[in-house]
């Protein structure tokens, strides 16, 4: 089965309807045994030092894995993707563009999905049939998330990784569904946690590999991972264009703020940690996010693939201590 890789979340139903294997380059990059080497490979080719490490990592992954066909999300995601696609074309790769409409218009998105399907040799009806099957798998990832925030079972990192991998289902839908079933069985047997701070993590999925471990090591749990949840397309039963219009990530900060504030209320969040990536335009959105959320916010910035720094650890500990004192006062 020939692979079709992509730079950000797309209607993966079209790839599967075409009989191709979906590959999310982000997941391959960040889970590589040496992601820093993939970034360095791009820098050696002349990518500027001010280029986002994710973009460098995607380039390095394509070259390292010998991937031929790439879908570039050129609307609704990173503006640097446009330049990345130009360089990959120079390297002889086959490129397929996909763009989310800034207007968040379902009719325009439907037309884009139809065009995307045709470029892969399939059609909208076939992709819609695939969505019915994928929604069965997505429901299992949603169940793990529900056990996390409703029943206090499992860990935030485990739940977010299961959501994150719904972008490509690890390239094998049946095997991935079986993996989720096993996880549900394991988590269901866990004793619910008690008396902890309820934290949400928002923003670009962190390139800091042990961030969740540091948040959860002492009296706190991450019960909401904003973007990872959105990447799982948790809109089961919706037509393709409606589900991918409800998906907030491509449509600007205000679409996201509504989702985050709903989660703050529904999941009783005590605070938000906003992760921003160096040299990413979404870092500017931190201004709007901090001004609009109803709970305290800690902003953390990362650059290269790494572990939590000593400075980050001190800031996380101070933030959690402040939240604990605040929560005690409110009781």
- Domain residue ranges in the chain: 3-124
Pairing label, strands 94-99, 3-6:
unpaired
CATH number of 3-124: 3.40.50.11890
Tell me: pLDDT of 90 over 90. Answer: yes
Listed in sequence order, the residues at least 6 apart from 144 whose beta carbon sits closer than 8 Å to its beta carbon are 154, 158, 159, 162, 163, 180, 183, 184, 187
pLDDT digits (tens, 9 = 90+) for 193-204: 998 999 999 999
pLDDT at position 1 over 80: no
For the cut 90, the answer to whether the pLDDT of residue 16 exceeds it is yes
How far apart are alpha carbons 19 and 24 in whole angstroms? 16
B/e letters for 199-226, b = 16+ CB within 10 Å, e = fewer, are bbbbbbbbbbbebbebbbeeebbbbbbb
pLDDT digits (tens, 9 = 90+) for 236-279: 999 999 999 999 999 989 999 999 999 999 999 999 999 999 99
| pTM score of the predicted model | 0.95
Longest CA–CA span in the chain (Å) reads 62
């Amino acid at each position: 089965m020939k692979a079709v890789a992509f730079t950000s979340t797309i209607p993966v139903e079209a790839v599967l309807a075409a009989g191709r294997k979906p590959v999310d380059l982000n997941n391959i990059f960040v889970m590589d045994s040496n992601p820093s080497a993939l970034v360095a490979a791009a820098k050696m080719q002349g990518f500027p030092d001010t280029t986002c490490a994710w973009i460098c990592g995607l380039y390095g992954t394509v070259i390292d894995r010998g991937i031929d066909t790439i879908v570039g999300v050129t609307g609704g995601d990173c503006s640097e993707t446009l330049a990345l696609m130009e360089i990959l074309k120079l390297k002889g790769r086959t490129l397929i563009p996909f763009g989310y409409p800034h207007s968040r218009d379902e009719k325009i998105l439907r037309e884009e999905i139809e065009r995307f399907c045709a470029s892969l040799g399939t059609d909208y009806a076939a992709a819609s049939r695939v969505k019915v099957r994928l929604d069965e798998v997505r429901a299992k990832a949603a169940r793990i998330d529900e056990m996390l925030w409703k029943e206090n079972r499992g860990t935030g990192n485990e739940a977010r990784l299961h959501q994150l991998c719904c972008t490509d289902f690890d390239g094998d839908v049946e095997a991935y569904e079986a993996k989720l079933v096993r996880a549900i069985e394991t988590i269901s047997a866990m004793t619910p946690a008690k008396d902890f701070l309820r934290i949400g993590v928002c923003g670009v999925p962190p390139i800091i590999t042990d961030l969740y471990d540091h948040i959860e090591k002492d009296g706190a749990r991450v019960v909401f991972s904003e973007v990872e949840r959105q990447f799982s397309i948790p809109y089961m039963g919706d037509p393709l264009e409606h589900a991918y219009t409800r998906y907030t990530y491509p449509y600007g900060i205000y679409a996201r703020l509504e989702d985050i504030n709903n989660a703050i209320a529904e999941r009783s969040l005590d605070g938000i940690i906003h992760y921003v990536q160096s040299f990413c335009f979404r870092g500017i959105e931190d201004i709007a996010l901090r001004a609009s959320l109803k709970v305290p916010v800690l902003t953390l910035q990362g650059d290269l693939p790494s572990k939590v720094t000593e400075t980050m650890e001190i800031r996380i500990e101070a933030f959690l201590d402040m939240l604990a004192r605040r929560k005690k006062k409110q009781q």
